[in-house]
């Protein structure tokens, strides 16, 4: 009888479990498994062994997206704001420095007791001489990070890592009206990619930079340009590390992101800050109306803001190297821009790069 009562109680407990709890537990376990798989792939890459591409199926992506990463990211953000006791700051930050290989000699303030909470430590400023801005080349790296991919955009597809692509139009969203562009428009073209190219003889190029947790978290203007429009896509906050980027097609189109578009001397130019797990907060210094990682959003929606119609038709002029925005923890920057056919990147896939170093030039 006692055994029967115990069995009945256990069954009752199982049936009282809510689907949400089961989904979170299953999704969280699967996310942990994926992290382990990513670690194994990184070890193979370090040994020079080429890793074959295996894309996630629809059910795997759905399972991963079931993890409440937006909620967890908001919780992480609040935890980061908690002021640490003075005696606890050095041990906590030292552990982080050791784990992610942070170079505190570059920080404007090296004393760990100066940073009241994790958020201040993540957003630490650098010494002025730590990142000299290249004056010779026309496009510089907007941040510290790892080069995931770069090159010419082909067939309206952009590579997030080698062999895994995403749709240019899905990533940037519908084309912005011609009234919000400073430069003269080229004759109407057929494809979305051709519509972005405004000058005859130009091509469209891209560059993807992954910011690891130990990297400098601010990002800067990669060239002299004018920002005319901001488009904010609410979305998931899945990890964007190279292992996941190799696994999920159109990962950057799933995640929350802020797309800044405008023009430079050669035509169209855009910089997109892509959010990730624990990186729900994306801040653009000149855009006080931007609020990311809201508790609710409509799937597939986006919000537009014009700096021309709301800023005396001038847009926001940015100088090369000027402070532009910041992440919490780490994420990804994607540059998509128009340039003449003789534009050349000075990069290698997988290389580490620092803010201010050359990406390419004519």
- 8 Å CB contact between 141 and 341: no
Q: Which structure tokens are listed for 248?
A: 């999920």
- What SS3 state is found at 72? helix
C-alpha radius of gyration, the chain, whole number: 22
Rounded distance between C-alpha atoms, residue 200 and residue 159, angstroms: 24
What are the residue numbers of the active site?
144, 220, 331
The DSSP 8-state label assigned to residue 183 in this structure reads S
Rounded distance between C-alpha atoms, residue 198 and residue 289, angstroms: 29
The DSSP 8-state label assigned to residue 104 in this structure reads G
Please report where in the chains the tokens 């997109």 appear, as a residue: 272
**H or E stretch covering 3:** helix 2-16
Intra-chain end-to-end CA distance of the chain, in Å: 84
């Amino acid at each position: 009888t006692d055994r029967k009562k115990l069995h009945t109680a256990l069954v009752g407990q199982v049936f009282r479990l809510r689907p949400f709890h089961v989904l979170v537990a299953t999704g969280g376990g699967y996310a942990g498994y994926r992290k382990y798989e990513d670690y194994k792939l990184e070890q193979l890459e370090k040994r020079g062994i080429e890793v074959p591409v295996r894309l996630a199926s629809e059910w795997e992506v759905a399972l991963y997206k079931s993890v409440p990463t937006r909620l967890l990211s908001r919780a992480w953000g609040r935890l980061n704001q908690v002021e640490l006791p003075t005696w606890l700051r050095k041990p906590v930050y030292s552990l982080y420095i050791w784990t992610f290989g942070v170079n505190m000699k570059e920080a404007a303030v090296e004393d760990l007791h100066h940073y009241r909470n994790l958020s201040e430590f993540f957003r630490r400023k650098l010494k002025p001489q730590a990142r000299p801005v290249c004056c010779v080349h026309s496009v510089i790296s907007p941040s510290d990070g790892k080069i995931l991919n770069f090159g010419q955009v082909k067939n309206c597809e952009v590579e997030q890592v080698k062999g895994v692509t995403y749709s240019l139009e899905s990533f940037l969203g519908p084309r912005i009206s011609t009234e919000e562009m400073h430069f003269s428009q080229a004759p109407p073209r057929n494809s979305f990619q051709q519509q972005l190219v405004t000058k005859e003889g130009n091509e469209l190029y891209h560059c993807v930079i992954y910011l690891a947790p130990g990297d400098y978290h601010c990002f800067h203007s990669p060239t002299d340009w004018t920002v005319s429009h901001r488009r904010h896509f609410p979305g998931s906050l899945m990890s964007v590390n190279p292992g996941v980027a190799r696994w999920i097609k159109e990962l950057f189109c799933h995640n929350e992101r802020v797309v800044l578009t405008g023009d430079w001397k050669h035509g169209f130019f855009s910089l997109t800050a892509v959010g990730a797990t624990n990186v729900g907060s994306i801040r653009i210094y000149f855009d006080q109306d931007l609020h990311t990682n809201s508790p609710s959003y409509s799937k597939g929606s986006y919000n537009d803001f014009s700096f021309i119609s709301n800023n005396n038709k001038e847009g926001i002029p940015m100088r090369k190297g000027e402070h532009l925005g910041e992440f919490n923890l780490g994420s990804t920057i994607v540059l998509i821009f128009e340039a003449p056919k003789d534009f050349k990147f000075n990069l290698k896939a997988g290389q580490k790069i620092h803010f201010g170093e050359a990406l390419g030039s004519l």
